[in-house]
Amino acid sequence: MSIRRGLLALLAQEPMYGAQLRSEFESRTGGTWPLNVGQVYTTLARLERDGLVERGELVEGADGADGEGRIAYCLTDFGRTEVERWWAAPVDRGDTPRDELVIKLALAVTVTGVDIVRLVQTQRTATLRHLQDLTKLKRATPEVAGEHGPDQQKELAWLLVLDNLVYAAEAEIRWLDHVESRLAREATRSPKARTADTASSQADRSTEGASR
């Protein structure tokens, strides 16, 4: 998750100081990606270095610090352009994250001595429990209809984040179902049938070769 973009988007609304950015980020994403203040200030320092933010003009006192010693940051024009660009562009999905489960399954089918059927079932049960926990969080969040205050908007943001996690867990379970039935089909093919397949495909290839 790009904290950088997230902070820029928040600052596009109004100048904020570090702790405020952190709590706004967390309340709008339901605390799903907790930040520590250190991360926020490191990110702000980099953004300042890159000319995307600057220390705010709105704060009282010298050195950009207000009465409580907080430094408010605001976007530069360059930073504003960067936020506009972020809203307009799709999120890059080409950079596939390494998923431990996918790696685990890929290895499990290629090494001997792993009970892969059991592995799939154990994982599916665990993922479904996770899905139940997410659903409990949804149940605990009341459906607010017809109100549009800032609290309701944050509630809606939180529900949408939850839904994203729900759909991701569901997708994993569906994939595991698919893996299970695929493995079951492989298991019913006798070694003899498999050899026959290979033989026929080789025959196909040789025919192909002959026709060329």
Partner 1 sequence: MTTNPILLLDNVSRVHGRDETAVRALDGVTLTVHAGELVAVMGPSGSGKSTLLNLAGGLDQPTTGRVVVEGADVGAMSLRDLAALRRRTLGFVFQDFNLIPSLTAVENVALPLELDGERVRKARRIALDSLEAVGIAELADRYPEHMSGGQQQRVAIARALVGDRRLVLADEPTGALDSQTGEDVLRVLRSRCDAGAGGLLVTHEARHAAWADRVVFLRDGVVVDTTGTPPTAESLLDAAGAV
State which of residues 181, 198, 202, 207 lies at the interface with partner 1 (CB under 8 A): 181
CB 40 within 8 A of CB 18: yes
5 versus 138: smaller Cβ distance to partner 1? 138
* Count of residues in contact with partner 1, rule CB under 8 A: 21
Backbone phi, then psi, for 82, in 5-degree steps?
Answer: -60, -40
Beta bridge partners, 53, equal 75
Does 185 contact partner 1 by CB under 8 A? Answer: no
CB 67 within 8 A of CB 35: no
Given the structure tokens 């040789």, which residue do they identify? 206
CB atoms within 10 A of CB 103: 10
Nearest CA to 48 out of 10, 75, 23 is that of 75
Per-residue binder mask for partner 1 (CB under 8 A), 141-180, x = binder: --x----------------------xx-xx--xx--x---
104 versus 174: smaller Cβ distance to partner 1? 174
Q: Which positions touch partner 1 (CB under 8 A)? A: 121-122, 124-125, 127-129, 131-132, 134-135, 139, 143, 166-167, 169-170, 173-174, 177, 181
